[in-house]
Chains A and B, each alone.
Chain A
Amino acid sequence: MNSTVNLLDEAVLKYGNKIAYEDEHEEISFVELKRRAMIIGTRLLNNMKCDITISPVIVFIPKSVKCIVSYMGILYSGNPYVPVDSNMPAARLQKIIHNLKPGAIITDNKHYERLKDLSLDGIDVYIYEDILNGETDNILINNRVQGVIDTDPIYIMYTSGSTGEPKGVTIPHHGVIDYAKWVVETFNFDENTIMANQAPFYFDNSVFEIYGCLLCGGKMVLIPEILMMFPLKLPEFLEEHKINTIFWVPTVMINVANSGALSKHKLPLLKTVAFCGEIMPNKQLNIWRKEHPDCLYANLYGPTEITDVCTYYIVDREFLDSESLPIGKACKNTRIIILNEENKIAETGEKGELCVIGAGVGLGYWGDKETTDKVFMQNPTNPYYNEMIYRTGDLAYINDDNLIIILGRMDSQIKLRGNRIELGEIEKAAICIENVERSCVILDTEKEEIVLFLETSNEFTIRKVNMELLKHIPRYMLPQKLFIMKEFPHTANDKIDRVKLRERYL
């Protein structure tokens, strides 16, 4: 298989008119998905150069079936797609466009307005509703798709960057093909699998469902975004839609457990409960296990850079609330090595940086060789042949049961409620506020709050500051606490004294 879109061609032959994807507005079969995607692919190809150049296409549409149709359409055009948050601040979207230099943008009528203030330098903008009324050119598409190789990029997903510039993680087709196979094999998915998707499409947890569903012929039900604000109503949604599989970020699992809603809904159909994106505490997992003892529970781990998941642990024993849940071992066709400070393989029990080798390892950060080379590199323990590793920056060790335990980060990147955030990006955004001289952001790990310090002689309320920050950063990066100071404390070499700030206010 050279292009991931071959999975859709095969699904059409095997499962035909079976419903594949469903949101609150529409449902779509495999056949209809292909029909619409081919129209979009044709339209894109008619306007693009049809040589071997790769030209990414941004999809600026809220999470919906429309997005999946667009992604498949872009894959039929032989190009990678770029899912972006439809609520993304204009300034951040502009940075992405600047870095990506996309060939086109697909949006809908409602979001078209939001693009008008951006400098697009002649990038083609398509309105989803309009391009669906078009022809299909099978030969054009077949020729183009046949020319794709599985090391070409399938998608680019932007994550927070410490310098304030988002980084475009670039993933190859073979990463997704390999991952989809692993997902379906590991969890025994088939045509009866019905998944309730929680992850936004600009997070790669959604790759699990989008491509898992294509491969097994199951159905993916998109949870309406509004419901994510009301975790206590989620079990009711699962019941209503006869869901048997979920793959959620732990924060949502925690909120559902804490809401008490699990005891009110028996969910006899629920079979598989997988989670990934941050550490899952056993305290809340035990609530799930108590209420739904017959489900299979799986703890998955992986950064965006390696195609969603690289290790997994099927929960196979009782855990005390205070114990930490292992992330288990490497997925099939993936190898994990833990490198100590001397860049040597760590012994059992010895701490080191978790590094990933395998088909899922990404192609780097789009248009940013310098940042790429810092973390995608030759395996330092292999002097014999080219072997790319991705250094995750996560500190880990292997325990006596041969399972990997994650300890935390080696830098200032944080995970908060499932979102990956570089504190530097918030600091850069805060400096853009008028009359702010300097800014510093720290994480209150106990309360799970982002704390923002501003050096300014003005008065600000946190609400006003956050309204300003929203022009630059997404909502999930907003601080929960604000401290205003006339002058920051300094270290001897004139840097902001973060330790002192932390001591004074936390």
Chain B
Amino acid sequence: MEIEEVLSKYIKSNFEIDDDPEFTEEAHLFDMGFIDSLGATEVILYIEEYWNIEITQKDLILYPMNTIKEIAEVIERKLV
């Protein structure tokens, strides 16, 4: 499965998002209300465990991680 696909599937089931046409890989997950502020940490913990990588405080400051696409880019960079 592609990184985007895994993320999308996890977010959809974990944050109870039904088939919403506005939920796309480019959608701003926080501004559009798909994930609330408390959910952000859950997403990071999931990523760190699933891909066995560490997202550091510096990563969070340097790279925007607001859409599935942006998060996938950070994960890809870490996996190289």
Binding site for B on A (CB under 8 A): 24, 224, 226-227, 229-234, 236-237, 240, 255, 259, 463, 466-467, 475, 478, 480
Contacts and interface: CB of A to CB of B under 8 A. Distances in A.
A229 B37 contact: yes
Contact of B57 (A233, A259, A467, A478): A233
Contacts of A236: 56-57
Contact of A463 (B34, B37, B44): B34
A224 B61 contact: yes
B12 to A, nearest CB: 13
Given A232-B41, A259-B41, A227 B60 contact: yes
B60 A226 contact: yes
A467 B34 CA distance: 11
Size category of the B interface is 10 to 19
Contacts of B56: 233, 236
Nearest to A228: B37
A241 to B, nearest CB: 10
B21 interface: no
A463 B57 contact: no
Contact of B60 (A233, A255, A463, A480): A233
A336 B72 CA distance: 54
B32 A229 contact: no
Given A237-B57, A467-B33, 20 more contacts: A224-B60, A227-B57, A227-B60, A230-B41, A230-B44, A232-B41, A232-B44, A232-B45, A233-B44, A233-B56, A233-B57, A234-B57, A240-B57, A240-B58, A255-B41, A463-B20, A463-B33, A466-B33, A467-B32, A475-B37
A451 to B, nearest CB: 15
Interface of B: 20, 30, 32-34, 36-37, 40-41, 44-45, 55-58, 60-61
Q: 9 shortest A-B CB distances, which residue pairs?
A: A233-B57, A229-B40, A463-B33, A236-B57, A237-B57, A224-B61, A466-B33, A229-B37, A24-B61
A230 B33 contact: no
A31 to B, nearest CB: 27
B40 A227 contact: no
Interface of A: prevailing SS: helix
Nearest to B66: A226
Contacts of B32: 463, 467
A230 B60 CA distance: 9
B41 A227 contact: no
Contact of B61 (A226, A231, A467, A478): A226
Nearest to A234: B57
Contact of B41 (A24, A226, A229, A478): A229
A237 B56 CA distance: 9
B40 A230 contact: yes
B57 A231 contact: no
Nearest to A238: B57
Contacts of A230: 40-41, 44, 57, 60
Given A226-B60, A237-B57, A240-B57, A231 B33 contact: no
